């Protein structure tokens, strides 16, 4: 599965737990809270002031996409 800005963080973490470090590296330290588990990557990047394209590139590289 290719990860997109519309991917739900919780779904990505369930399928690819190794990606948690990439979320942590941009300041998303609340990955376990219920709200963030239902948030899209695009929404989270907007809230955290992170570049969504850079994170998506890193996430997809980490899962071999």
- Per residue in 5-64, pLDDT (tens digit) is 999 999 999 999 999 999 988 888 777 777 778 899 999 899 889 999 999 999 999 999
**Does pTM top 0.95 for this prediction?**
no
Residue 45 CB coordination number (10 Å): 20
Q: Residue 21: its pLDDT value, please?
A: 93
DSSP string, 1-65: ----TTSBHHHHHHH-GGGHHHHHHTT---TTSHHHHTSBHHHHHHHHT--HHHHHHHHHHHTT-
């Amino acid at each position: 599965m290719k990860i997109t800005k519309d991917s739900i963080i919780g779904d990505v973490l369930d399928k690819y737990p190794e990606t948690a470090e990439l979320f942590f590296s941009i300041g998303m330290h609340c990955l376990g809270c219920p709200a963030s588990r239902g948030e899209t990557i695009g929404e989270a990047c907007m809230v955290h002031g992170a570049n969504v394209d850079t994170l998506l590139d890193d996430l997809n590289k980490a899962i071999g996409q």
